[in-house]
């Protein structure tokens, strides 16, 4: 995050004296790109190993001494790196989020955010027309797909423990369908933690290729990766649970109505549809919870013609479900919905 505001700065901000747009626009653009360079050059891994002077950091990252000093000092000001007597070391933020062997590593997600830049030049057009000239995956290379799937996996790893505590699937022999399941982490976890559970993950072929290449030690024989278009391909029936995780924000209203009806149609009687997304109108007071779904919405309209939807929108699309449970997650702005007893 940009450096925490001092007491005086907070007062100036409240009085509208601080030039907030400069921090929002200039600071955010430059700092985001700086984080990407830091990640690509292994800066956070370096300073996490042991405190080091600029000369060593320059050798490790391949950046010039002047450049690496600027970068490292920006990370000190931004709260990621510490500097004592000329020796740079990783602070808790860097160790937790930006060092690869941390279980909460988000580096792939940050690299994916950087890849949005090239397409964000079309934001005007997308906001005018409600969709981009062409959806993101039309121009995706294999490397782009890998970055994207790994980024989604970073997020899923953070959410997984809480999501798994909330969802209800049979203790044994359950059937789970993950639509747009990408990296397959949710399906793998269901199968790992529930005896004889089997799962189908449907997504586009390049996403599933990355998922297959990153298979873990879970019960892969119970997981089927199925290439298909979740809007049109036939879906397996008799499911105990269907997941739509981070999916509805990528479609327009009509597509979402139809997708939810299709998903509900593949449930067995008493089966549950789970929708996880960044929603507006959840009543949460936190500024981050209000801000993040809107950033996701702007980005998704630009990437693929999606939007940020409200809890009320989703409730309407699930009108045929007699039971509709709303479960805000601890991750800012993310909500999980369980819709069951479909008529
Ligand atoms: C934002 S990611 C979410 C991945 C995963 N569900 C998660 O929550 O981490 C959206 C996924 O949906 C897939 N997807 C989008 N539209 C699709 C479609 N029409 N058919 C199949 N997959 C689709 C994308 O390829 C991508 O893997």
pLDDT in tens, 224-281: 999 999 999 999 999 999 999 999 999 999 999 999 999 999 999 999 999 999 999 9
CB 236 within 8 A of CB 266: yes
Q: Which atom of ligand 1 is nearest to the CA of 233?
A: 20
- Residue 237 tokens read as 């029936």
The pLDDT assigned to 3 comes to 60
* In the predicted structure, residue 2 carries a pLDDT above the cut 80: no
Residues 130 and 271 in one domain: yes
107 falls within a domain: no
Top mean pLDDT of 7-16, 22-31, 174-183, 218-227 is at 174-183
* CATH number for the domain that contains residue 337: 3.40.50.150
Residues 44 and 132 in one domain: no
The Cα–Cα gap between 199 and 89 comes to 43
- Domain extent for 170: 113-342
In order of 89, 105, 134, 241, 320, the CA distances from 153 in angstroms are 27, 10, 25, 20, 31
Task: List, as one string, the DSSP characters of 96-153.
Answer: HHTSTTSTT--HHHHHHHHHHHHHHTTHHHHHHHSS-SS-GGGG--HHHHHHHHHHHH
Residues 77 and 133 in one domain: no
Measure 223 CA to ligand 1 centroid, in angstroms.
17
Measure 276 CA to ligand 1 centroid, in angstroms.
12
Residues 90 and 128 in one domain: no
Cβ of 306 closer than 6 Å to ligand 1, yes or no, is no
DSSP state of 168: -
75 falls within a domain: yes
Residue 219, SS3? Answer: coil
* In the predicted structure, residue 8 carries a pLDDT above the cut 80: yes
Residues 94 and 117 in one domain: no
The pLDDT assigned to 24 comes to 86
The Cα–Cα gap between 273 and 266 comes to 10
Task: State residue 303 phi and psi, 5-degree precision.
Answer: -80, -40
Measure 196 CA to ligand 1 centroid, in angstroms.
25
Cβ of 204 closer than 6 Å to ligand 1, yes or no, is yes
DSSP state of 24: I
Nearest Cα neighbor of 259 from 280, 293, 229 is: 229
Give the mean model confidence (pLDDT) for residues 149-170.
97
Residues 59 and 195 in one domain: no
Cβ of 180 closer than 6 Å to ligand 1, yes or no, is yes
Residues 11 and 53 in one domain: yes
CB 334 within 8 A of CB 278: yes
Cβ of 140 closer than 6 Å to ligand 1, yes or no, is no
235 falls within a domain: yes
β-pairing verdict for 87-90 and 81-84: antiparallel
Nearest Cα neighbor of 161 from 192, 132, 183, 139 is: 192
Residues 332 and 186 in one domain: yes
Q: What is the mean pLDDT of the chain?
A: 94
At which of 72, 98, 124 does a domain end?
A: 98
Residues 303 and 180 in one domain: yes
Residues 32 and 129 in one domain: no
Residues 243 and 187 in one domain: yes
For ligand 1, pick from 247, 249, 304 the residue to mutate: most ligand atoms within 8 Å of CB.
247
Measure 226 CA to ligand 1 centroid, in angstroms.
12
Q: How many domains does the chain have?
A: 2
Measure 339 CA to ligand 1 centroid, in angstroms.
20
Confidence tier at 6 by pLDDT (50, 70, 90):
confident
Confidence tier at 59 by pLDDT (50, 70, 90):
very high
Give the mean model confidence (pLDDT) for residues 278-301.
91
Residues 310 and 205 in one domain: yes
Cβ of 154 closer than 6 Å to ligand 1, yes or no, is no
């Amino acid at each position: 995050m940009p450096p925490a505001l001092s007491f005086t700065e907070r007062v100036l901000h409240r009085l509208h004296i601080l030039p907030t747009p400069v921090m929002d626009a200039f600071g955010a653009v430059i700092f985001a790109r700086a984080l990407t360079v830091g990640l690509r050059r292994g800066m956070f891994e370096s300073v996490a190993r042991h405190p080091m002077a600029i000369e060593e950091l320059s050798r490790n990252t391949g950046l010039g001494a002047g450049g690496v000093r600027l970068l490292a000092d920006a990370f000190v000001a931004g709260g990621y790196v510490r500097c004592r007597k000329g020796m740079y070391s990783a602070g808790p933020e860097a160790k937790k989020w930006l060092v690869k062997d941390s279980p909460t590593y988000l580096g792939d997600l940050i690299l994916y955010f950087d890849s949005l830049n090239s397409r964000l030049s079309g934001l005007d057009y997308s906001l005018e027309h409600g969709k981009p000239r062409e959806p993101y995956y039309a121009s995706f290379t294999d490397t782009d797909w890998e970055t994207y799937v790994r980024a989604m996996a970073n997020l899923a790893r953070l959410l997984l423990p809480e999501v798994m505590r909330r969802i209800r699937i049979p203790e044994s022999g359950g059937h789970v369908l993950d639509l747009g399941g990408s990296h397959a982490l949710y399906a793998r976890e269901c199968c790992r933690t529930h005896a004889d559970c089997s799962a189908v993950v449907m997504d586009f072929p390049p996403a599933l290729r990355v998922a297959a290449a990153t298979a873990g030690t879970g019960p892969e024989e119970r997981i089927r990766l199925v290439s298909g278009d979740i809007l049109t391909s036939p879906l397996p029936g008799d499911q105990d649970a269907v997941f739509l995780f981070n999916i509805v924000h990528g479609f327009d209203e009509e597509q979402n109505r139809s997708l939810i009806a299709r998903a509900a149609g593949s449930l067995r009687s008493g089966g549950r549809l789970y929708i996880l997304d960044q929603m507006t109108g959840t009543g949460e007071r936190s500024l981050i919870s209000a801000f993040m779904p809107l950033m996701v919405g702007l980005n998704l309209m630009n990437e693929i013609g999606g939007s940020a939807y409200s809890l009320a929108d989703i409730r309407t699309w699930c009108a045929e479900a007699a039971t509709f449970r709303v479960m805000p997650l601890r991750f800012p702005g993310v909500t999980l919905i369980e819709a069951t007893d479909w008529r």
